Amino acid sequence: MSAKKLLILIAAVFVLQIIILIVFGGFSPDAEKEGEVWADLGFVKFMKYEMGLSNFQDVEKWDLDGTPGGFLALNKDTAIMMIIVDTLIILFAFLATRSLKEVPGKLQSAFELLTDLFQGLVVQTLGEEGKRHLPMIGSLFIFLWISNIFGTIPFGVEPTRDLNVTVGHMLVIIFIVHFESIRVKGIKSYLKSYLDPFFIMAPLNVIGELAKGVSLAFRLFGNILGGAIIVMVISYLMKYTLLQVGLNLFFSIFVGTIQAFVFTMLSMTYIAVATAE
């Protein structure tokens, strides 16, 4: 996509968000009123006058086990957004690969550029054998990137704003890190690494491994949630001027892209360190 087309797309999103603010009372004197249902489509409700600071803990949930707020309760917004993100990824992947050509079209070219980019990063970080991780690394970045920029879409909620999502991704990455370490080094060398340089360092080495996972999950969660809170606070203080639209675009597109890339690069780095002889 050329710079001109990208600017046009950003401008279109900017104008669309302004229209949404006007329609849903963002510029009215009643903007701080408690939300009221504007339209109810069954599984999705559109609220009016809900432009102020929201309670991130007060979310509607699906109780799969029938127990309100139980272990199997799912954040409704997060679940819907994740389904939409997964559907978009599958759809674009299908459209890009259904008729591959020697002279690729725009969509195929975009996927080929993305594949070449991450193939180079994977080989540079993990070596030639690391190509086996390319599908996982590429899919991880695409999912996180699309999830992070969902805040630019009216009524969109970033799934990565939910700690459960980032912790889930972290657990998968940590499992792969330790699985690869055992596969490459063997179980004895893997366990022995926790005793280096002295056996009394074992507790600290275990804590260090736990800290890797915690920092990986909380870094992404904190940046995405922090951006959303900043936008809401500024919009509240500035009485819902256009500033919140610009901030929303900045945090969703710029910060969201950076954080998706950082999470992906750290994942590759952890795998590389764990498998180093």
pLDDT digits (tens, 9 = 90+) for 250-260: 777 788 889 99
Asked whether the CA dihedral 9, 10, 13, 18 is positive or negative, the reply is negative
Arithmetic mean of pLDDT, 75-100: 84
Contacts of 224 (CB under 8 A, 6+ apart): 148, 158, 160, 161, 255, 256, 259
In terms of Cβ atoms closer than 10 Å to its own Cβ (0-12, 13-18, 19+), residue 216 is buried
| Domain residue limits, the chain | 1-51, 62-275
pLDDT digits (tens, 9 = 90+) for 13-68: 666 666 665 665 554 455 455 555 555 555 455 555 444 444 445 566 666 666 66
The one-character DSSP state at 34 is P
